[in-house]
Each structure stands twice: as C-alpha cells, then as structure tokens.
Amino acid sequence: MAAWVEATSSRARRTPRARCRTTATATTCCNEPDRDCARCPRLAAFRAQNRVAFPDFHNAPVPSEGGVCARILVVGLAPALKGGNRSGLPFRGDASGRWLRAALDRHGLGEDMVRITNAVRCVPPANRPTAAEVAACRPFLVGELSGPELRVALALGRVAHDAVFGALGLRGAAFGHGAVHALGRLTLVDSYHPSPQNTNTGRLTPAMFDAVFKTLKDLL
C-alpha cells in the first residue's frame, strides 16, 4: 500500500477528496472472506497446495484496498498467483498491478478516491475462475458496490464486467473496451484487463488505458 500512497500523494492532493467521514477503523464497506474460506472447494484446494509450495505468500482471500469512501471502484478478475496472492493486496506485485497503479498515478487518483477489489478473492488455477466461483464471491462484491460515495466502477475484463452486473442483480450488457453503462446511481466503465497478454500484444496500450481513466474522472 505504501508504494501507491508515495507514488500518488502529491497528485492526489489536487483531486477533490471524498466527502464521507469514517472512523479510523472503518477500512471496508463489507465483510471480507475468512482466511480459510471454503466457499469454493477447488480454490480452497489450490490454496492449500500453494501454502506448501509458497509458505511465505499471503495464500488466502485477498481483501480490497483503498478508502471505504472511494468514488471509484476498480474490479479485477482474481488475484494472480505471484501478484496479489503473494502480496496480500489486489493488483500489487505483478505486471498487471504495475500497469494499473501507474495509471492511477498518472491521473492523480489516490486511495481516498479509488478502491481496488476482485470479482473472485482467491487465486484460481491458471488464472481462470469458474462461473460458480464468481457467484460464490458475489456477496463480497455486492458489499463493495454499496460504498457510500461510490459513483463509478471500472471493470477490468469481461468477467469483472459480468460480475458487476450480477452483483447488482441486473441483466448484462455487452462488454467493450471504453464502453459506458449507466446503472442507476452507479456508472460502469469497461476496459481490457492490463494483463501482459493484452499489454504486450498492443491490444491494450497506455493511450487506450489513459482514455478510460479520463472517462472515469469525467463521470465523477
């Protein structure tokens, strides 16, 4: 968390702060999964294997990061084995996280304005959660989407896009990079996931990602 704060602090001060007031202990807007959550047997089994193979990793459901009064919620797919699953923070410790956090820095969006989470909280084999696993984690995403000051959600990839619609109990719409969906008090913006598969092939470029973040800020 410190790197994001240090990298964004000078710019984040120029961004209007969320109006919400919370106590010092109010770090989440919903319950987090237990460390030994057993909602998804396949993910629990994979977690047990990783605790043996990588005993120094977090190897547990990865909690959300950012202010409870954030106005932007970034929703990813699931923690990467050697990213969030290792660090214990979403989008920290791997190439996707560096892309996301660099964009937050460029646009002056600090932890008071942005919260980061995943549709699925545990690392899945081959980075591919099943539909049942997304559904099992849905109550936690429902809680995140109830943030008191939340105005915009950013879905990184189609699975995150579908998860947001499901958490809101809405019929889905087509995913498309840069697409904007008005969902009542909340607006959903789509982006390709900043995975190496997308960024190394040019499917997602810095300019394309910056355009999405400009849209997010325009919607606040």
Residue 19: both structure tokens together: 């109006």
Nearest-angstrom CA–CA distance, 12 and 8: 6
Contacts of 25 (CB under 8 A, 6+ apart): none
118 Cα distance to chain centroid: 4
Query: Cβ distance 204 to 96 under 8 Å?
Result: no
Nearest-angstrom CA–CA distance, 80 and 93: 9
DSSP H/E element including 98: helix 95-106
What pLDDT shows up at residue 172?
87
Tell me the pTM: 0.88
Q: Which of 186, 187, 161 is nearest to 173 (CA)?
A: 161
Query: Cβ distance 44 to 136 under 8 Å?
Result: no
Q: Where are the domains of the chain?
A: 2-7+36-219
**Residue 24 DSSP code:** T
pLDDT along the chain (220 residues), means of 10: 38 38 44 94 98 98 94 98 97 96 96 96 96 97 94 98 97 96 96 98 98 96
3-state secondary structure of 138: helix
Q: What is the pLDDT of residues 6-48, one digit of tens each?
A: 333 333 333 334 345 443 333 445 689 999 999 999 999 999 9
What pLDDT shows up at residue 29?
58
What pLDDT shows up at residue 179?
98
Adjacent-strand bridge partners of 182: 187
What pLDDT shows up at residue 203?
98
What pLDDT shows up at residue 31?
81
Q: What is the pLDDT of residues 62-74, one digit of tens each?
A: 999 998 899 999 9
DSSP H/E element including 183: strand 180-183
Which CATH fold topology does 2-7+36-219 show? Uracil-DNA Glycosylase, subunit E (3.40.470)
What pLDDT shows up at residue 5?
43
